[in-house]
Chains A and B, each alone.
Chain A
């Protein structure tokens, strides 16, 4: 008999089983199964088995009074049709089981012991459903078989079977030895086969370089002494594959690219990163220093996140990441790992930051997709639900409010969703008298790993995300986040930071210890670590697996030997695991040991700089800008109203306020301009504004972003610039300092490397070049430095032989300093009579717009930004806002003026009449261009009429026009001279925009 106690907890009759109600509703709406009632139970398997009195105590404690009841074994219950049990597969992180164990041990006053464990699982009792439909619900909704095991039992079967006592215990094996991988004598084809078989994602030139390096190093005395030969060990090979992965190394951004464009000589670009990213920031930094005498850039590019100066006490730290591939496989776990993973980046910048706010943004296939789905892909609605829940749980449980959230939908994200997650931190200017941004690992410092234990989860995450998705993608590539373990680790590390107990810290993300130790070793000049000391979730891992595992919630620190006892003692007290694994050295190499044996010896210069240079061909052929056929204006206002309602309810424009409110946005008590604002608190703020601390300093920061994936169909240059322009315009509209705006660039691209299934790789590479050129141009013109960024270059899915590539997408995220949070501005006009001023010119630009998507247009001119021409206008607007002239401001974005005018009217709780014929235009612009075009660079300002003259003076030389007036009514009227385009109650438009009364 199994030595296991099973405890079940259920809702008592008379109380709603809210989880059951929600599951039943989702089965009906998502799967179309007309199911009856669903009851749910929480199940805890405890091993070793508890004595009966202890089991009864635990059951009674877990159930609590009144609402829930429990039983040891199984709760016998009235009839149902099918029971679905869902529990984790062996080795998957089980945070609930872990917390339950803590409670049980304290309740009973004794530990469960070394072999003890608590496993959490769920049971769904379904009524009014066939076994076949229940099985469909189980696999498509209730469980993800990548990480969970499912059993489906008809009632009769359930009734006769004994309660399930099986637990997902990992079958432990003795540790596996390190092995030598023979590369000598292998040719390119054999090497490539080896790389594919071992999921190394190394290119042929890389494999040849590795083969030749080891062959030549055979006589190296250090290698001979260590007993290593002319072939790498699996530890060395895996470590190189991680370190050289596209994910860690950004090979494409460091490649030499030959860029060809018709009518121009070929151009050779030696590293997009150096030329357009770092080069841009260097130029902006120099301009800031020339203007202000010193720069406010504190730390850029070399650490885990970018750092800018903000107040006398704090710097601001910001990083945005993507977690696309794991989210495609396990939306909940993948996305949660995305958010708790990016938390570790600002946390591990310099000597560490307190985390202030999160941002998220997702690109999905249409949630209402009814077309076919290739096997291996999840329905976009399921991906969307799971991603939201994962980031909600990850962020909320970590106690970090979200500042920005957005979604974008396009068919091409069916193959791979984009899941952006970011985190802002505040870094004390100094800790224990030292500048916090400086890490200082020295030879002799101990290598200490802190946080969760190592398992097979997340093995090959870095190399996996550097490969396209296939039906055989490994289960190990998915990690599950455990925000509470991480929060406890962060609390402990902040204490250790304040006590000055460590000299350097970095995150264990992609590549695990191989990346964190390999990277940290650069500063002191070497390291050794003994993998046999690493704490494991279960036995049976090979040394290379310990080295590259991406098991979550782990940080690596450099701890001076004198501080080590205090550091480890504090960790123990705070119930956080910390393990001394080795030491940093000045040996010039990373030495990996397993007990007394050396299983890897990699010189740092080969590890970090030994990969061969990559060359890429880029060929730009501009798509022909076939002119979009003009459309007759709405004949009547009623026709225009119908158009407006249909347009505002589109996936990319509709209000997602209700969903977004399931994310916390104000824990920490620092949020000033919240994500949803206005009279109905349902209009997205252009930018959110936060205080930095409760220290009396009212300096704050503003966050905004811009992303225009479909503009890439015309020109990725315009796509990149539109994103940066909107992000910058939004923080300016919120009242940020115009000279304290920084940006982050996150590229998500389809693979630009040639391959048999990728015929247009040179075009994708050219789009990458053009986006980078456009990015550099606009950042230099605006004086906006790029302080951090990331690229994800393999966003393609090949399923059933068909390739689905995302549109090239650059997310621009802005962070800006706000001098006084009380002066922040939103879209809200305060009173009837206020005037609406449109700043900027409008052109006939419909290409790539939401209206083009609505009309099914492929041609037209894409909105093109003219950074140098726009910037003086932005400075003038910023001055006007800073001087208090402006009541409300809004940056016109996707959806054009129709969307913007609606949002301002809605936010203000007022009526609004606007005449678009008054707008300043460049060239011929028809009603579509005015109402629905997305010309960049435009701002709407609401001002009291008495301040118009002062505003006009402030905007001298900047194209602008009074286009409308707010009134006490509730109607939005948009006309073109005497022609009415829209004349509708704002509430009626809002109902369409919120899709009230419609299934979402």
Chain B
């Protein structure tokens, strides 16, 4: 599996995201967005199997998170993205990458058919509380059909965002997405139940939505950072629970492994 990580314009999680994909056996290429825009890169986007939009502060979150980058990608790369998805490619968006995919209309995307690049959702601020870097727990909705969550049930991850509250046009739309298993990741409490309460849910998303898949299951976006839990010693309890944490693989890796594993 060959993974493309576009870089530049204030994105900044490329190093750990590349490490994550490499740790699970993928071949990773970091390519500057200006090279993709100018058709200067050796490969086209559709020559990869996976596109990973990493976290960061593209254009400083100016105007709104992911907005400027999404506008630029739509202007320069929309056809390439269609080609990638048309050939069965997969897309992952983490944090700012997720915001960008939502702005592009790739998430949650149309109920049926190829991507139409129509935004149908927004990621917005918590009503009162802003950016916070803290570890929380997320769980996978068992109904989800996402390729990125196979074999994943729940994991600890840090959350680091201001604009991450997932909103759609109406509660009916949200229910539809829920029923179809597209609300793939949820913020969960100590009992494993999706929660809307801070701090377990850092942004106040209804139904505890932390990550969303498209209807094909090939595009996933999530707000928290699985790319920040690659080693047991990333975990904040490592000093007190060393043996227990070292006995299992670090929780973030399973998502990257699932994503590069063929159907």
Contact = CB atoms under 8 A, between A and B. Distances in A.
Contacts of B131: 392, 396, 662
Interface string B1-40: 0000001111111011011100000000000101100101
Contacts of B71: 61, 103, 106-107
Interface in A864-900: 888
B72 to A, nearest CB: 5
Interface in B203-237: 225, 227-228, 230, 233-234, 236
Given A42-B63, A66-B167, A669-B19, A491 B7 contact: yes
Contact of B15 (A669, A672, A830, A908): A669
Interface stretch (A76-84, A303-311, A480-488, A800-808): A480-488
Nearest to A820: B233
B134 interface: yes
A487 B239 contact: no
Given A18-B126, A100-B62, A483-B60, A573 B227 contact: no
A909 to B, nearest CB: 8
Contacts of A661: 132-134
A666 B62 contact: no
Nearest to A483: B60
Nearest to B160: A664
Nearest to A66: B122
Given A100-B63, A669-B15, A16 B127 contact: yes
Contacts of A483: 10, 57, 60
A662 B160 contact: no
Q: How large is the interface on A (under 10, 10 to 19, 20 to 34, 35 or more residues)?
A: 35 or more
Contacts of B227: 669
Interface string B137-162: 00000000000000000000010100
Most A-side CB within 10 Å, residue of B35, B55, B64? B64
B125 interface: yes
Contacts of A681: 134-135, 236
A736 to B, nearest CB: 15
Nearest to A101: B68
B169 interface: yes
B16 A484 contact: no
A15 B160 CA distance: 22
A120 B128 CA distance: 23
Contacts of B13: 399, 667-669
A828 interface: yes
A491 B128 CA distance: 34
A234 B56 CA distance: 44
Contact of B233 (A95, A103, A672): A672
Contacts of A88: none
Nearest to B61: A397
B158 to A, nearest CB: 6
Contact of B72 (A9, A62, A103, A828): A103
Contacts of A969: none
Contact of A488 (B9, B40, B236, B239): B9
A668 B32 CA distance: 18
Interface in A8-39: 9, 15-16, 18-19, 21-22
A666 B133 contact: yes
| Majority-rule SS of A interface residues | mixed
B67 A64 contact: yes
B55 A67 contact: no
A6 interface: no
B239 A109 contact: no
Most A-side CB within 10 Å, residue of B9, B228, B240? B240
Q: How large is the interface on B (under 10, 10 to 19, 20 to 34, 35 or more residues)?
A: 35 or more
Given A488-B8, A666-B228, A667-B13, A18 B125 contact: yes
B239 A825 contact: yes
Most A-side CB within 10 Å, residue of B7, B71, B132? B71
B63 A830 contact: no
B75 interface: yes
A16 B128 contact: yes
A68 B55 CA distance: 23
Contacts of B32: 491, 495, 574
Contacts of A173: none
A643 interface: no
Contacts of A392: 131
Given A573-B34, A694-B19, A488 B10 contact: yes
B3 to A, nearest CB: 15
B15 A18 contact: no
B64 A62 contact: yes
B8 A574 contact: yes
Given A397-B57, A397-B61, A694-B15, A66 B239 contact: no
Most B-side CB within 10 Å, residue of A109, A120, A661, A664? A664
B68 A487 contact: no
B76 interface: yes
A95 B16 contact: no
A67 B167 contact: yes
Nearest to B105: A65
A596 to B, nearest CB: 36
A102 interface: yes
B121 interface: yes
A157 B5 CA distance: 52
A821 interface: yes
A16 B129 CA distance: 11
Contacts of B38: 573
Contact of B68 (A100, A672, A824): A100
A398 B233 contact: no
Contacts of A574: 8, 32, 34
Interface in A327-351: none
A15 B124 contact: yes
Given A99-B60, A102-B59, A663 B68 contact: no
B180 interface: no
Given A679-B240, A681-B135, A666 B122 contact: no
Interface in A53-87: 61-62, 64-68
Contacts of A64: 64, 67, 103, 119, 122
A169 interface: no
Nearest to B118: A65
Contact of A397 (B60, B75, B130): B60
Given A95-B62, A99-B63, A397-B10, A16 B125 contact: yes
Nearest to A658: B132
Interface in B48-62: 55-57, 59-62
B240 A18 contact: no
Interface string B226-258: 011010011010111010000000000000000
Interface in A677-718: 677, 679, 681, 694
A16 B132 CA distance: 18
Contacts of A484: 9-10, 57, 59-60, 62
B79 interface: no
Interface in A563-583: 573-575
A392 B133 CA distance: 12
B7 A18 contact: no
Contacts of B72: 102-103, 106
Interface in A462-483: 483
A822 B12 contact: no
B133 A665 contact: yes
Contacts of B61: 397
A7 to B, nearest CB: 10
A674 interface: yes
Nearest to A657: B134
Given A18-B127, A484-B10, A487-B10, A821 B233 contact: yes
A718 B74 CA distance: 61
A720 B7 CA distance: 44
Q: Which 3 residue pairs across A and B have the least CB separation, nearest first?
A: A399-B12, A669-B16, A694-B19
18 contacts: A18-B127, A21-B127, A62-B64, A62-B67, A64-B122, A95-B62, A96-B60, A100-B63, A573-B35, A573-B38, A664-B160, A666-B225, A667-B228, A668-B16, A672-B238, A694-B16, A828-B239, A830-B240
